[in-house]
Structure 1
Amino acid sequence: MKITILGKGNMGQAIGKNLAMGNEVEYFGSHDVVSNFGDLVVLAVPYPALAKIADQYHQELAGKVVVDITNPLNFDTWDELMVPADSSAAQELQKLLPESKVLKAFNTTFAGTLTSGKVGTTPTTVLVAGDDAAAKEKLFTALAASPLQVLDAGKLKRAREMEAMAFLQMTLAAGEKISWNGGFGVNK
């Protein structure tokens, strides 16, 4: 499967490492122009970049599975999420890309746990929320050869809880209460 990752930072590289096991992965940075997206597109960018990407590539992303990994944390205050309380970054992105199949994934993991495949001694679990079963299956298939566990977290509206969980995890790490190589683990 051809996969496009927008974002060349730590998260983009860590996600790409896992997706490259059995798939063709290409990376694009913020100043690159993408002319041909893969079937699966991972937006490994900061939350504020989503609206610009949706505006710029609305037509090119139609019919694609688009994976939002963002956490809409207010990085000025580290004290709130920047989306309405009854929504999420992924739900807002789905409104901007109505012809795409938006999934929420990878936002509850740190780059270190994606790279190592472990949270402590527990395998890293990628939670996936979305409204399209075939889109979820495409991501599950793309990750099948990786050491990561993948767990269906439900409909796209569950992205709200995933972002809240990630917010807590990030503030704990920023406060040096947990490691950036640790975090929450899921035992299946």
Structure 2
Amino acid sequence: MTTAIVGVGNIGGAVARHLVAGGENVVLAGKSTPRAKELADELGPLAQAASAQDAIAQADTVVLAIWLDAMRELIPQVAPLLAGKVVIDPSNPIAFDAQGQVVRSLPDGQSAGSVAAALLPADAHYVKAFGTLAAEALAANANRTPQPAALFYATDDERAAATAERLIRAAGFDPVKAGGLADAGRIEAPGGDLHQFGFNGEVVTADQARAAIDAHQ
């Protein structure tokens, strides 16, 4: 199985490192081809660099580790290549105001997940995952002991759920399903009660994560 990671910034880079450490094959693509190649060379034989189109074409699963606005541009360009594939979306509806403060880039009640899912081909298998921790926490908390850190995911698709769970475990975390696509906003920032910032920065265990889901249902 091969996972394409489109976007090699803080989130994409952390996911790539964790998956390779867990024995997964990855193909990396970014705005900067040299940056993707540099990261692939650093990660060794399980990683390679390619264009976004080539990475998606050869992968079983695609992680779109890019900003939501970039996703709006990219998905229509590569939509035929995404048909039938599992698409993992870590995006959050984040923007910055004139003072540099984080604000929502979408109206209340609308999630980045609903926007991204609507752009995909009808037969793609969508799941919101890998965006529920800040990049630094995602990078630092893989394979935590004695209890692994939890990563939430949200999907209505069984194949996407199975893939997300496998990759979250390979990355060194405990997968916890927050619900379906309608619940994606709960695991997004700003404002999601199941995002790390909804826990006031705490990185939670699976037991804590499930308790939080139950408390707000």
Structure 2 length-normalised TM: 0.72
How much has 1:165 moved relative to structure 2?
2.4
Matches of 1:68 and 1:166, distance apart in 2: 18
Larger Rg: 2
How much has 1:45 moved relative to structure 2?
0.8
Does residue 49 in structure 1 map to residue 77 in structure 2? no
How much has 1:171 moved relative to structure 2?
9.9
Match of 1:132 in 2: 157
* Alignment RMSD (CA, Å): 2.7
Match of 1:75 in 2: 96
Moved more, 69-78 or 15-24: 69-78
Stretches of structure 2 that go unaligned for 5 or more consecutive residues are: 33-50, 208-217
Name the aligned partner's letter for residue 123 of structure 2: E
Name the aligned partner's letter for residue 192 of structure 2: M
- Give the percent of matched residue pairs that are identical in Structure 1 and Structure 2: 29
Does residue 185 in structure 1 map to residue 212 in structure 2? no
Structure 1 length-normalised TM: 0.82
From 109, 121, 126, the equivalent of 1:86 is 109
By percentage of residues, which structure has more helix?
2
How many residues get paired? 180
Stretches of structure 1 that go unaligned for 5 or more consecutive residues are: 173-177
Matches of 1:152 and 1:165, distance apart in 2: 15
In 1, are the aligned partners of 2:7 and 2:28 still within 8 Å (CA)?
yes
Q: Secondary structure at the match of 1:34?
A: helix
> Alpha carbons of 1:13 and 1:33: their partners in 2 closer, same or farther (altered >3 Å)?
closer
Q: Secondary structure at the match of 2:26?
A: strand
Matches of 1:114 and 1:74, distance apart in 2: 20
> Alpha carbons of 1:166 and 1:112: their partners in 2 closer, same or farther (altered >3 Å)?
farther
Matches within 5 A, 1:7-156: 7-20=7-20, 21-30=22-31, 32-35=51-54, 36-76=57-97, 78=101, 80-97=103-120, 98-117=122-141, 123-156=148-181
